[in-house]
A and B are shown apart, each in its own frame.
Chain A
Amino acid sequence: MADNLERAASLAISDLSIHFGGLKAVDNLSFTVYEKEIFGLIGPNGAGKTTVFNCITQFYKPNAGSVKFLANTGETVELVGRPVHTIIKLGLVRTFQNVEVIKELPLIDNVLIGAHTSFKASVFEQALTLPRARREERRFREKAMNALDILGISDRANMLAGGQPYGVLKRVELARAIVSDPKLIILDEPAAGLNESETETLSHTIKLLRDQIGCTILLVEHDMGLVMGICDRICAISFGKFLACGSPSEIQKNKLVQEAYLGEQQGGDD
C-alpha cells in the first residue's frame, strides 16, 4: 500500500449517497482510485455498482458526497454538478454495459464519435469543408484507425457496425474510449457476453490500455476470474454500502465479502 501514498489520486469518491424514493442505492460510499491503477468495483447483483458509475459520470446527480477527479489539465476538479456532456473533455470516458454503437455507421465512424469534443470546426466550416474541417477529419480518422489497430480490428474499419459480432462491438467501444484521450476509463461489465478466449484477450487489452496509453481503469465486472486477474485493488460493495477495499487476495479472504456473496462466488472462478 505504501506506493499508493506516493501516487496521485485519479478519482476520489467521498461520502457518496443517492436514493431513489426510499431506496438508498448508494449509501455513504468512499473510495479512491490512484493513477495508472486497474481498480475493480464488485458486489452482488443490485449492489449499486452501475449507479456509482452513473453518479461519477453525472448521469445521476448524487444527493450527497463528492467526486474529485484529476483532470487532463492537471487540476483536481469536482465532477458533481457538471453537465454530462462536459465530463469527457476532462479526460473521463466510459463504456456501456449493453454496447452502445450506431449500427448504420462503419466501425471507424463509431470510433470517431469518441473524438467528438476534439473537433473544433464549426458547422459552417464542415458544410463547406473548409481547410480546418478537412484537416481535423483527416487527423482524427488516422487516430481512430490507430485505436482500431491497437484493438486488432482495423481490418473491419469500413464495415457497418450492424451485423458485427458482439466481441468486435465491445472492442469498438474501447477504441472509441481511447480516441477521447482519456485519463480514466470506466468500464461497465466489459466481459459481459464474451466467451472465455475473448475474455482472455480483453484482460490483455485492458492492461495494454494502462501500460501503453497510460490511463487509469475503473471497472465493474461479474467475471471474478477477470477481476481477480487484472485488478491492482478492488472495492466491494453491497446494497450501496462499502464492504471492503484492498488487493484481490485481501478481498477474497474478507469475511464480509464472502457473506455478501453467500458462497455464490467466493472469490474463485465461477
Chain B
Amino acid sequence: MDLTQAAGNPVYRFYKNPNVRFMFFGALLCLVPYLKDIGVFNAGMLITIGGAIIYSVAALGLNLLLGFAGLISLGVAGFVGLGAYATAYFTKDLGLAFWVAALGAIALATLIGLLVGLVSLRVSGLYLAIATLCVSEILLKTFESFDSITGGMTGKRAAYPTILGTTLTREGTYIMLVIVLVLLMMLTRNLVKGSFGRALHAMRGSEVAAQAMGVNLLKYRLLAFALSTAYAALAGALYVTFIRSSYPTTWTITLSLNILAVVVIGGFRSIYGTILGSFVAFIVPDLILKKLPVIGDVPGLAYIFNGVMIIIVIMFYPAGLIKLFSDARGLALRLVSGKARKAVN
C-alpha cells in the first residue's frame, strides 16, 4: 500500500504529473459533445456547460487576485464584458482573426486593469470592492451608450471563430474552450507554485512581512490585477465567440457576484476548486433546479441558490467544496487501512 515506493515508477510519475491530470480532465470535458450525440445532453446543455467553462476562466483570474493576493474585486463582469465587446468589434467591424482580436481585447482590458491596480495601492478591503464595482459600472454604461461600437441595448453579434481558415462549429468552439481552460489551469498552477505565487501569498499574509522579504507591493499588486483582468478579458473573448452575441444586461454586478460565489464555493487558492465552483454555481441551477416542480419557477433561482451555497460553504466548509474530495479520499483510505488491519488481526 506504500505509494512512496512507487515514486520512481514512470507510470506512477506520469499519473501524478499535474499537467497530465489537467489534460485528462480536459479530455473528459471534451466528451460532452459526444454525450450530446448519444442523447445524454441536449444542445442547450452544451451551451450551459460551455458557459461554466468560460466563467471558470474568469474565476481563475479572480482566485489569483482574491485567493492568493487577498485583494477583492467586484468588477469582474465589466472586464469580461469589455473582452467580449472588444473581440466582437475587432472580428466583425475590423475583420481581424479571432486570436488577434482576443489578444487585442486582453491587452486593452489589462491596461485598464493596471489602472485599477494603481488605485488598489491607496484603498483596500471594502473600499477596494466599491472602487472596482464602480469601474465595472462605468464599463457597463459604456457598453450601453456607445451604440456605434457595442450596438447599445440591441447587443453586438459575433461569429464562431475561424482558425487556420476553417470556421469552427459550435462543438468545435466548445473543444477550443476546453483547450484554453486546460492551458490556463497549467499556467496558473505554474505561476502560483513559483516565486510569483509565494509573493502573492506573502502579500496576503502580511504586507509588512512581505515588504521585509523584498516583495515590491506596487509590482505584485499591479501584476495580480493585470493577470486577473487578462483572464477576465479572455473569458469575454471566449464568451462572445461561443454565444455569438453580447448584451449589456449580461455584464451586471450579478455576474460579478456569481463569479465571486464560484471562488468561495469552489475553494480559495484551488484550481480544480474554481472549476468545481463554476460548475456548481452555473450548471446546477440551470440543469437541475429549473427542472424541479414549484422551485423551478422561482425567478432569480440561480442567485438564491448561489447565496445559500455561499452561506453553507462559509459556515461548514470554509476551504471550499473541493475539500470534499480530499476528505472523502482520507475517509476511504482510513476505511481501507482499518479493514486491512482487521484482516491482519
Contacts and interface: CB of A to CB of B under 8 A. Distances in A.
Interface of A: 57, 59, 83-89, 93-94, 96, 100-105, 109, 112-117, 119, 121, 123, 126-129, 133, 136-137, 176, 180
Contact of B198 (A57, A96, A113, A127): A113
Contacts of B190: 126-129
B110 to A, nearest CB: 13
Given A102-B202, A123-B196, A128-B187, 16 more contacts: A57-B212, A59-B212, A85-B217, A96-B208, A96-B209, A102-B201, A104-B201, A104-B269, A114-B213, A116-B198, A116-B213, A117-B213, A119-B195, A123-B223, A126-B194, A137-B195
Instruction: List the 4 closest pairs (A to B, CB-CB), nearest first.
Output: A100-B209, A117-B214, A126-B194, A119-B195
B211 interface: yes
17 contacts: A85-B210, A85-B214, A85-B215, A87-B214, A88-B213, A89-B214, A93-B212, A100-B208, A101-B205, A102-B205, A105-B201, A112-B195, A116-B198, A127-B191, A136-B195, A137-B194, A180-B213
A264 to B, nearest CB: 30
B203 to A, nearest CB: 10
Contacts of A109: 198, 201
Contacts of B201: 102, 104-105, 109, 113
Interface size band for B:
20 to 34
Interface string B178-213: 000000000100110011101101101110111111
Contacts of A87: 212, 214
B117 to A, nearest CB: 14
A54 B56 CA distance: 43
Contacts of A133: 194
A121 B202 CA distance: 18
B66 to A, nearest CB: 14
Contacts of A100: 205-206, 208-209
Contacts of A104: 201, 269
Interface of B: 187, 190-191, 194-196, 198-199, 201-202, 204-206, 208-217, 223, 269
Contacts of A96: 208-209, 212
Given A88-B213, A88-B214, A102-B205, A116 B199 contact: yes
Contacts of A84: 211-212
Contact of A85 (B204, B205, B211, B269): B211
A163 to B, nearest CB: 14
B327 to A, nearest CB: 16
B171 to A, nearest CB: 29
Contacts of A88: 212-214
Nearest to A59: B208
Contacts of B210: 85, 113
Nearest to A112: B198
Nearest to B216: A85
B209 A116 contact: no
A255 to B, nearest CB: 37
